[in-house]
Amino acid sequence: MGEDVLTCIEGRVGRIRLNRPKAIHALTFAMCEAMIAALLSWRDDPAVDLVLIDHAAGRGFCAGGDVVALAKSGAVDGADARAFFHSEYRLNHLLFTYGKPTVAMMDGITMGGGVGISQPCRHRIATERTVFAMPETSIGLFPDVGGGRYLSRLPGRIGHYVALTGARLDGANCFALGLATGFVPSEGIAALKARIIEEPSAAARIIAAAKTTPPPAKILELREDIDRLFVSDRYEHVLAALEADGGEWAAEQREILTAKSPQACKVALRELAESRKLHDFADEMRMEYRIAARVVQRPDFAEGVRALLIDKDNGPRWDPPTPDAVSDTLIDGIFAPLPTAEEWSPLA
């Protein structure tokens, strides 16, 4: 694993570089543990003023977690999958509560686990190549790694739309929604990183000087339709609204949702509703871990990974197969507290 994530100190900057380009830097348990170790070692180190997170090579920042490995674990006893989620969420929480400035370069694909390690950072830089998404409902999962918090706090019902459909947001959209704090052309990223490493104490000023005005955010043009059609926390009501609308865009979204796991969509809506009530990020992570520990062993996760990533037939057979077959009792059980000894906990 040693080369899957590179950590070092350059000048007064702690650097974390994802280095698994063939998998678009999808995170593994060992990668999470390596990042945690580096962050802990730098947390109280007076020689480190700032932490910079990017990818060393390839076309994306981070495509998520290694879900094929997680599905294989879920098909047996789920122990390895739970260990991964426990470590990943500790990494997310550590970044969220980190005392030193952090910078994430969201250049290219930033999905799932990539969202989890970029959104907690103080400075989040998008480019014209940024592709931000939480596509978990396609594989029977849910928007985790803090996704409940981030999406539930987007304007109107945009987060609910993104959570259900897995809609992809470009850099301009990310900046307009606050998912990115700055927009910099990709050709300027190397120079920006060099300047930050040269003078980390002036990172905020350096980033501000490098920012450019992004193109118009197309997501905002859809705001009225999104808020109207995705207004309900009841999945059946969202589907009915899309069906009744009669417009082309609504029909497209209804068609997209036919391919998603009904269970995952109901979990996502419940998650966002609950996340709005949670103020402590540790409580968010604790809730998400309960969900992950259970859904990783439910039929839809293995089936979604099989259909989209292994056999690639794009024909998942969901179980339960329809939204009305996903009972409130089932969803309640997914969200229920775990036995005390099995609950998630942050790093001491």
Q: Is it the case that residue 203 has pLDDT exceeding 90? A: yes
Where residue 82 falls (left for φ over 0; alpha for ψ -120 to 50; beta otherwise) is alpha
Q: Is it the case that residue 2 has pLDDT exceeding 80? A: no
To the nearest whole number, what is the mean pLDDT of the chain?
A: 97
From the CB of residue 58, how many other CB atoms can be counted at a distance below 10 Å? 18
Query: What pLDDT is attached to residue 58?
Result: 82
Q: Rounded CA gap, 145 and 134, in Å?
A: 10
From the CB of residue 150, how many other CB atoms can be counted at a distance below 10 Å? 25
Quick: pLDDT tens for 102-137. Answer: 999 999 999 999 999 999 999 999 999 999 999 999
**Is residue 279 classed as helix, strand or coil in its secondary structure?**
coil
Query: What pLDDT is attached to residue 322?
Result: 98
**Is residue 170 classed as helix, strand or coil in its secondary structure?**
strand
Query: What pLDDT is attached to residue 57?
Result: 84
Q: Rounded CA gap, 92 and 15, in Å?
A: 17
Domains along the chain? 5-342 (3.90.226.10)
> What is the average per-residue pLDDT within 188-208?
98
- pTM assigned to the model: 0.97
Where residue 212 falls (left for φ over 0; alpha for ψ -120 to 50; beta otherwise) is beta
Q: Is it the case that residue 23 has pLDDT exceeding 50? A: yes
**Residues with catalytic function:** 65, 113, 136, 144
List of residues 6+ apart from 290 with CB closer than 8 A: 334, 335, 336, 337, 338, 343, 344
Quick: pLDDT tens for 259-282. Answer: 999 999 999 999 999 999 999 999
Quick: pLDDT tens for 32-84. Answer: 999 999 999 999 999 999 999 999 988 899 999 999 999 999 999 999 999 99
Of all residues in the chain, the percent with pLDDT exceeding 90 is: 98
Quick: pLDDT tens for 241-265. Answer: 999 999 999 999 999 999 999 999 9
Quick: pLDDT tens for 174-184. Answer: 999 999 999 99
Query: What pLDDT is attached to residue 1?
Result: 41
Q: Is it the case that residue 157 has pLDDT exceeding 50? A: yes
